[in-house]
Structure 1
Amino acid sequence: MENFKIEIGSENKELVILQGTAEPVFHKKAIEVKGGAINSALVYLSKKVVSAEIIEHSKLEYCYDKLYINLLYDARERNPDVIEGKLKLHPDLAKFNINSSKTYSTFELADFVKMNRHYFENKEYAMKLVSELRNFEGKVNKDIELKTDDRANKKVLIHQVVESNIPSGFFLELPVFVGEGNKRLEVEINITASFECSLVSPDLKQFIDLESKAILNEQLVKINELHPELKVFEY
């Protein structure tokens, strides 16, 4: 056993020596939000009473390209809270695979439209589209058989049947981003000579390009109104 020399000054009245295992030091567990909605940082800050000192030790990071806003709250604590928010396409929209490389046969697209007709602005219109898609290939092949001109172009015939039977576009009503309300979007159907269908929407592309930045800016403005002294960094 090692020897210790303890000196007690005149101001000390008592020395207590404890033997055994000391109580463990407790550190609060951090709150972590991974992959939350874009308003996660704002919701977190809105529901807390925050001192100026804690804000001094916190920071906010955002990125227009990757569409995120992340909060590191009280960063000098052993376990700071980390709140990550990202602007994500809504799953209801994502499953339509608009403006992607996804293709369907006319029958596959007809079945898909039928099962998702509740997203259409006009459900009767959706069911009419289902009927036309199911009969589309047959109509084209019939027109080809009736043509006596060997030079008849199958692609031209498909275009003619599309013009006369398939609606040029339809309207969906659904949210574009998680946490946002419904939007009215026009969608078009492209059909190739091999009867492959794809869904395209210039309106959706424009909305995502312009609105995503506006949504991020709106969140940043609201956070700044709550805590103007919070450090904010763009990445």
Structure 2
Amino acid sequence: MYSEKVNVIVPENYSGQPIEIIWRDGQAAKQLDPKEPQPVNISGTIDSPFRWLEKRVELIDQKQANITINRDNMQISLVDKETDFYNNGVTGTLQPSKEMVEFGINSDKIWEPIKLSKFLKMHRAFFKDKTQNMMLVSTLKNFKAKVNQDIERSKEENGSKIDNYSQVVDSNLPKSFKLNMPLFKGFACEEIEVEIYADVDGREVSLSLVSAGANEAIEEYKNKVIDEQISLIKSVAPDIVIIEV
């Protein structure tokens, strides 16, 4: 039984019921050290800034926030507190689809014929015409190319020179084929025409995939999608300044 006296303040409207007192003896638990707030830095798809504002706009001062647009990098960035060290930042990027990256269309990716044959065979789901896929796979597996080279070199006594080199490659590759795939991450599939460019150097053959149509569509989509996002952001946060960089 503890003998210490305890002062208890009884409220004015005390009903006379027993008052329970909890007495804890021993060392108090150590208080946790205070932590600095953690700023939010999110990188996602192009609509990420709008999605963030759509649910959080009432929590921020729009006059202290900003949106920056970088069309070259296909990015939209949001900062919710401009002068606060712990400001939140959300960046949305219009990213190439995984399929575009894996195929290496309009990139520096180089394929050997047999490796491209195996790759296309495993990715025939992106061909609308499965027969075309089978023919292309077979052609690449049995790639043949006839190379005609013309070399003309001469040197005259007066110092004049002729040094001409020409190479004509006749192969069994088709001029082009069609794929059905998304151009951007999170977007619907588009039909694009793809050409195979061959580089023949002796016995070495390297192939690359090129699509002028995909490149044109990407340029059109880039501005269209960014403009759509700007319009959506203005609809939920009309007082945020939007700056093109």
Q: Does 1:197 align with 2:204?
A: no
Structure-2 change in CA distance of 1:56 and 1:168 (3 Å): same
Give the structure 1 partner of residue 54 of structure 2: 46
Deviation at 1:170, TM superposition (A): 1.4
* 2: CA distance, partners of 1:75 / 1:100: 37
Deviation at 1:74, TM superposition (A): 3.1
Deviation at 1:78, TM superposition (A): 5.1
TM-score (norm: length of structure 1): 0.73
* 2: CA distance, partners of 1:91 / 1:211: 17
Give the structure 1 partner of residue 160 of structure 2: none
Q: Does 1:135 align with 2:135?
A: no
Give the structure 1 partner of residue 92 of structure 2: 85
Identity of aligned residues (%): 26
Q: Which of 114, 118, 128 is the equivalent residue of 1:107?
A: 114
Give the AA of the match of 1:234.
E
Give the structure 2 partner of residue 175 of structure 1: 182
Give the AA of the match of 2:106.
N
SS in 2 for 1:30: coil
Higher strand share: 2
Q: Does 1:57 align with 2:67?
A: no
Q: Point out the structure with max Rg over C-alpha.
A: 2
Deviation at 1:112, TM superposition (A): 1.7
Structure-2 change in CA distance of 1:100 and 1:26 (3 Å): closer
Q: Does 1:31 align with 2:40?
A: yes
* 1: CA distance, partners of 2:108 / 2:32: 61
SS in 2 for 1:65: coil
Deviation at 1:23, TM superposition (A): 8.9
Give the structure 2 partner of residue 117 of structure 1: 124
Structure-2 change in CA distance of 1:22 and 1:197 (3 Å): closer
* 2: CA distance, partners of 1:79 / 1:190: 50
Contact 2:100 2:183 in 1 (8 A): yes
Structure-2 change in CA distance of 1:155 and 1:229 (3 Å): same
User: Aligned residues, how many?
Assistant: 198
1:150-189 Cα offsets, whole Å, 9 max, x none, are: 98xx954x43x43xxx332111111111222211111011
* 2: CA distance, partners of 1:150 / 1:57: 67
* 1: CA distance, partners of 2:102 / 2:80: 35
Contact 2:45 2:94 in 1 (8 A): yes
Alignment RMSD (CA, Å): 2.8
* 2: CA distance, partners of 1:199 / 1:217: 30
Q: Which moved more, 1:181-190 or 1:111-120?
A: 111-120
Give the AA of the match of 2:241.
K
SS in 1 for 2:95: coil
* 1: CA distance, partners of 2:116 / 2:33: 62
Structure 1's unaligned 5+ residue stretches are 1-20
Give the structure 2 partner of residue 3 of structure 1: none
1:67-114 Cα offsets, whole Å, 9 max, x none, are: 111101133455221101111111221111112232222212211211
Higher helix share: 1
Structure-2 change in CA distance of 1:23 and 1:106 (3 Å): closer
TM-score (norm: length of structure 2): 0.71
SS in 2 for 1:48: helix
Give the structure 1 partner of residue 162 of structure 2: none
Contact 2:57 2:237 in 1 (8 A): no
Give the AA of the match of 2:141.
R
Contact 1:155 1:193 in 2 (8 A): no
1:136-160 Cα offsets, whole Å, 9 max, x none, are: 22xx46xx8xxxx998xx954x43x
Give the AA of the match of 2:213.
D
